[in-house]
Structure 1
Amino acid sequence: MNSQHIDPGSITRVAGIEVGHFTDTRRPTGCTVVLARAGAIAGVDVRGAAPGTRETDLLAPGNLVNEVHAIVLSGGSAFGLDAASGAARWLEAHGVGLDVGVARVPIVPAAVLFDLMVGDASIRPDAAAGYAACAAASSQAPAEGNVGAGAGAAVGKLFGMARAMKGGIGSASVTVDGVTVGALIACNAVGDVLDANTGKVIAGARTEDGLALLDSRRALLGGELPQSLLPGTNTTIGVVATDAVLADKAQAQRLALAAHDGLARSIFPAHTQLDGDTLFALGTGRSGRHPGMLLLAAMAAEATARATLRAVQATRSLTTPQGLYLPAMADWLPQST
């Protein structure tokens, strides 16, 4: 199957889901919000060893709060978690949140990726950025590539930033028998990105002369040693959502876990000690149907793989004022060695 000819869809095809981006014009960074104004059953699965997250503990199946109102994905490393506060402020201003009698408290988990090496590291998403992303949210298909949480993303960094390529944010969806599962993925992986249908590397580390794709798997197994990298300076984060009726947070957590299979198909290596790979799952229940967790899990993995592919297909090349050049798949079409 040629993935180029598949309509990728988007996460906003899931009823009850809206997406908004904020992209900072001062340097390549930004944040993205996934809104579920009516509330959505939520889960999370963290597979990377260096995550930067907010309010993930409340998503554990045994804990009290059952629904969330938004998920924030942000650049800026740990600083970017501030964006979630702005999202919560916007939701409160619009009457969205958990009713505790004296106030409505928006529940806004978040995850961040590290993009501080791309441009001026002192510029990162803050609360105002999160507020602006919410204000921009809609049910239209979201912009992809160099926007929002994907603005400063890069992939293929095992052999250094000088040999990396541009990452980004992408979305996709799968519909089976009236039920939809969508994904939104901000891909900032230390590893290469593959087309899950063909196994071919489509973006990632380049050869020393920069003129071709290296194929990190073959290089590592062939004895080429990776460059020493700081843990947490990468990370792929995202959200999977469905309009299926999920019974509880345990099922949402299972959906997030299954979505990581899509990352494993699309990124090599994934889930490393250098990444903070984190995926959230949302269930809006708007279809009124539950086709079974086996099918939903398969759909979540597929939507995640397609969204990861879109995250690099939609990017454009970038050169920072500091001289870092990150070629994009669409602008630079080498042949893999």
Structure 2
Amino acid sequence: MKLDEFRSRRPIDIIARTNPILIIDEPQSVEGKQTKERLKEFHPLLTLRYSATHKSDSIYNMVYRLDAMEAYNKRLVKKIAVKGFSESGNTATDGYLYLEEINLSKADPTATIEFDFKGATGIRKKIMKVGIGFNLYDNSGNLDEYKNNFVVKLIDARDNSVEFLNGVKMYAGDVVGKVSEDQLRRIQIRETILSHIEREQQLFHKGIKVLSLFFIDEVAKYKQYDELGNPYNGIYADMFEEEYTNIVNNLQLKLGDDEYIKYLDSISVHDTHAGYFSIDKNKKIINSKLSNKKQAHQMMLMLMI
């Protein structure tokens, strides 16, 4: 457009006479055919394109590449830690058994385990801190799957393991037996909360913030909306709040760390997590599954803050 204040010239023509260096951030967002042609009107001396997701690497000259490892080595990004757990079948039992952690104390170490328990209304999951001699069969309501010498023989804090009289040995984070998809997700959430709080307590007095991320498969499992458009928790958010409340209520905190305890108590469980998703024009989370590359690029995340 010609402007009077530019003496009836187009601003782009004045800029073009300088043969500028054109710097484009995230160029994949302006790579339409018409836009590419209009950018040529700048008559640039050279063009620098900065992006981690170039659409057409092959038609441009690569000048510099900064990958994830180099960025970390140069201290340009914070360290990222990934935690996993092991799932395995076991011929000794068809029952469910999960070793959450080993607990150290002035006395002998104990282990926090989760197992099936037969109560008056049916079978449910039960979490207990146990010591040497603990008999799963007796404490499960006499479930047959724990009948084969599932008695704690050894709790070893050196490698975070528990060994039973029948020879079964488990390490912290191991889960064996029949496990549903929902139970696997619950364990992953619980393990992340435990790691988060442990790390956060270490860094709390240094003023360093800890974030934990959950990559999830479907937005609706984190947040849903009723007929009036009011949001409510999906299954993962419910799992998180249940596990977080249980862990914090039973947390073994170092004596004298009153400031960190006060910090935890000041934040409601609802405010401890949030989602990072694509939203629609009504600012509602788009309920989509990770079924293609476009949706995968939406970064469907659940965050523990």
Task: Output the TM-score relative to the length of structure 2.
Answer: 0.30
Q: Whose helix fraction is larger, Structure 1's or Structure 2's?
A: 2
Q: Which has the higher contact order (CA 8 A, sep 6+)?
A: 1
Normalising by structure 1, we get a TM-score of 0.28
- The higher radius of gyration belongs to 2
